[in-house]
Chains A and B, each alone.
Chain A
Amino acid sequence: MTDTPGHLLIVDDNKVNRLLLSRSVELLGHHASVAENGRIAMEMLSNQPFDLLLLDIEMPEMDGFQVLEAIKSNTDLRDLPVIVTSSIEGLGNVVRCIELGAEDYLPKPVNKTLLGARVSSGLEKKRLRDEQKRLLERFATTEVAQDLQESGFAIGGKRANASVLFCDIRGFTTLSENLAPEETIDLLNTFYTLMFEAVTSNGGIVSLMLGDGLMALFGVPQPLPNSAQSAVAAGREMHNMIEILNLERRAEGKSDLKIGIGIATGEVVAGYAGTDDRATYTCIGSTVNLAARLEAETQITGSRILIDQETLELLEGATVLESFAGSRIKGFSDPLDIHAL
């Protein structure tokens, strides 16, 4: 037994079945609660969390099909894995369970070994979904997390179109050399608070914090009507916030903070990467590299925001301050047109 014990809810109108399933689940090292029909099960589910549901189909009052429908239309419950355990006749009914979102179907009498394997796999799915939810809530706004829960999670990587934004404090190393360690952390905390606000208020998520900089994603995991527009709006807001911060800093006799922002738009591979213990929602692909390079390039061009051609093409009514046609960007063999906003 390597599984962490889970709390399972067994829903069956037949007493012998309830006892037998409870026993089997307990022998597997998990905790079991029981409900006599679908209605009671739904009440229990709304009152306390469960990790997995073992659901019978033929039941009075509220049958298994109705329970599946109720669970899948409830945002708080839709991620709860359901294994249907039934001796219902007809392949059509089994198909119906799966179509209604059941994770699996185990015919009764339930084979002990099979039950063990399916329960482990169901609990693992639940654990991953909970982990994703937790991570998302940390990196995204409540709205984004909520929206994702409603639209469902895509487990694993997927290709998507997105805008990637890199932001960095210029000359931070030199700046921090003259600061006490507490002051440095204080400054970074202020910086991050402002930058997170700019990102999340424009529908993006911060996927990485890198010392004195960050990487933000727009358009993944949740699609945006115009990811480029949102990323640029966030970039402008970041500059506005830094200007306000600088007014305060000047009043205290401190030097100005300067940031550089690079934004690129295109196809990315997005998903959860890491290990079991630590994973993060991230993006990879040449769009990400380009955004990072553009941010570095702002130091050379002295621009506030540098964007790539794809981002520009998606912008509505933006004023380009300067375009650098045919720029050589490190890591990109072809010259690129980049634009300063």
Chain B
Amino acid sequence: MTDSPIDHEIFSELKYATGEEFAAELVNTFLDEAPGMIDELKAAAGASDTDRYRRAAHSIKSNANTFGATALADLAKDVELGNLPEAGDLADAEALEAALNTAVAALRSLIDD
């Protein structure tokens, strides 16, 4: 684990490969989309829909990797590969939401620099 929730090397590479302005735009898109992904995860858990649950976690993992949000990606991967929790058990979803909020705050500060 690094001190920052974001691996700066990966994030710099993203900026370098796609352009700083585009990278910022991409972060903003993620900030817009992220709450929906958590909602989707919770809804899938509530509906006991395994595929939907796995897909929501997969999506978060995929984006977390893109931005170098390593801790978030690792947690999302555990959820993706883990079992569907009992109906109403939102512990995993809430843990992921907390990690997401940390990553989101860090990303926001990175593009505001």
A87 touches B58 (CB 8 A): yes
A58 touches B29 (CB 8 A): no
Per-residue contact bits, chain B 58-96, to A (CB 8 Å; 1 contact, 0 not): 110111011000000000010011000000000000000
Query: Does B33 sit at the interface, judged by CB under 8 A?
Result: yes
Question: What is the CA–CA distance of A98 and B93 in the complex, to the nearest angstrom?
Answer: 33
B77 touches A89 (CB 8 A): yes
* B-side contacts of A58, CB under 8 Å: 54-55, 58-59
B29 touches A19 (CB 8 A): yes
Query: Does A244 sit at the interface, judged by CB under 8 A?
Result: no
Question: What is the CA–CA distance of A308 and B59 in the complex, to the nearest angstrom?
Answer: 66
B81 touches A14 (CB 8 A): no
Chain B residues with a Cβ under 8 A of chain A? 10, 14, 17-19, 22, 25-26, 29-30, 33, 52, 54-55, 58-59, 61-63, 65-66, 77, 80-81
**B18, B61, B62, B65: which has the most chain A beta carbons within 10 Å?**
B62
Chain A residues with a Cβ under 8 A of chain B? 13-17, 19-20, 23-24, 27, 58-60, 87-89, 108-109, 112
A sample of 23 cross-chain residue pairs with beta-carbon separation below 8 angstroms, ordered by A number, consists of: A14-B33, A14-B63, A15-B29, A16-B29, A16-B33, A16-B63, A16-B66, A17-B62, A20-B66, A23-B26, A24-B18, A58-B54, A58-B55, A58-B59, A87-B58, A87-B61, A87-B62, A87-B65, A88-B58, A108-B62, A109-B14, A109-B66, A112-B17
* B-side contacts of A88, CB under 8 Å: 58
* A-side contacts of B62, CB under 8 Å: 14, 16-17, 87, 108-109
* B-side contacts of A20, CB under 8 Å: 18, 26, 66
Q: Tell me how far the C-beta of B63 lies from the nearest C-beta in chain A, rounded to whole angstroms.
A: 5
**A16, A58, A59, A88: which has the most chain B beta carbons within 10 Å?**
A16
Q: Tell me how far the C-beta of A126 lies from the nearest C-beta in chain B, rounded to whole angstroms.
A: 25
Given contacts A58-B58, A89-B80, A109-B62, 13 further A-B contacts (CB under 8 A): A13-B59, A14-B33, A16-B29, A16-B62, A24-B17, A27-B17, A88-B58, A89-B81, A108-B62, A108-B66, A109-B14, A109-B65, A109-B66
A88: nearest chain-B partner, CB-CB: B58
* B-side contacts of A89, CB under 8 Å: 77, 80-81
* B-side contacts of A109, CB under 8 Å: 10, 14, 62, 65-66
Question: What is the CA–CA distance of A38 and B29 in the complex, to the nearest angstrom?
Answer: 22
Q: Tell me how far the C-beta of A38 lies from the nearest C-beta in chain B, rounded to whole angstroms.
A: 13
B interface, over-half SS: helix
Question: What is the CA–CA distance of A87 and B18 in the complex, to the nearest angstrom?
Answer: 20
A17 touches B18 (CB 8 A): no
- Rank and list the top 3 A-B pairs by shortest CB-CB distance, nearest first: A112-B17, A109-B66, A87-B62
* A-side contacts of B59, CB under 8 Å: 13-14, 58
Q: Tell me how far the C-beta of A209 lies from the nearest C-beta in chain B, rounded to whole angstroms.
A: 51
B60: nearest chain-A partner, CB-CB: A14
Question: What is the CA–CA distance of A109 and B52 in the complex, to the nearest angstrom?
Answer: 22
B55 touches A60 (CB 8 A): yes
Please judge, given known A-B contacts A20-B18, A60-B55, A88-B58, whether A15 and B65 are in contact too, CB under 8 Å.
no
A16 touches B80 (CB 8 A): no
* B-side contacts of A19, CB under 8 Å: 25-26, 29
* A-side contacts of B66, CB under 8 Å: 16-17, 20, 108-109
B73: nearest chain-A partner, CB-CB: A87
Contacting residue for B18 out of A14, A23, A60, CB 8 A: A23
* B-side contacts of A27, CB under 8 Å: 17-18
Q: Tell me how far the C-beta of A203 lies from the nearest C-beta in chain B, rounded to whole angstroms.
A: 49
Q: Tell me how far the C-beta of B52 lies from the nearest C-beta in chain A, rounded to whole angstroms.
A: 8
Please judge, given known A-B contacts A24-B17, A58-B55, whether A17 and B63 are in contact too, CB under 8 Å.
yes
Q: Tell me how far the C-beta of A57 lies from the nearest C-beta in chain B, rounded to whole angstroms.
A: 9
* B-side contacts of A59, CB under 8 Å: 55
B27: nearest chain-A partner, CB-CB: A16
**B52, B63, B80: which has the most chain A beta carbons within 10 Å?**
B63
Contacting residue for B30 out of A16, A60, A87, CB 8 A: A16
Question: What is the CA–CA distance of A27 and B10 in the complex, to the nearest angstrom?
Answer: 19
* B-side contacts of A16, CB under 8 Å: 26, 29-30, 33, 62-63, 66
Question: What is the CA–CA distance of A239 and B95 in the complex, to the nearest angstrom?
Answer: 84
